[in-house]
Amino acid sequence: MSTGKLLVTMIMAFSLGFIVAQVALNYVTINSAITPWVLITILFFPASFAVQAMLKIPEASEHQQLTQSELKRLKGIIKVKQNKLFILFWVYVIFAVASAALFLLKNPAVSINVAISVSLGLIVASLSSLVYIRSVMDEIQSFKSLMIHRADKIKKKNELLERLK
């Protein structure tokens, strides 16, 4: 998923979450003491997946069957993906801080309903970005699988060549 597509998805998800929250808050009573901290905690949930993916990406370059040119290209791809995940992690942190700031403001211009709506919008935007993180994890897993199959193929080829001698 490209960065632009991810950004558009997150903006659309935020809008959807905000609108749904605004409508839902007309029918639900909110406990204003507990709600902000629950929402902020949920905002950090996708950050754990981003960190997990960042730590898992370098494992892709640990295969001995990679040639120097493959390794060089792979390191560039890994660096780009790690940077995107690092930025995404900090986006989650900024979302949580912004949400907390909305709840901590004593300004009557920002009602609790608006703060909750913005927070739910940010949560939906964060959760929508999990699709990108999942795609990165899937790429890593399919690459590892490809390397295992490649190693098996080379091993079988070498065994056949030995039999022919």
pLDDT tens column, 31-62: 666 667 787 888 888 888 888 888 888 776 66
pLDDT in tens, 10-33: 888 888 888 888 888 788 777 666
SS3 letters across the chain: CCHHHHHHHHHHHHHHHHHHHHHHCCCCCCCCCCHHHHHHHHHHHHHHHHHHHHHHHHHHHCCCCCCHHHHHHHHHHHHHHHHHHHHHHHHHHHHHHHHHHHHHCCCCCCCHHHHHHHHHHHHHHHHHCHHHHHHHHHHHHHHHHHHHHHHHHHHHHHHHHHHHC
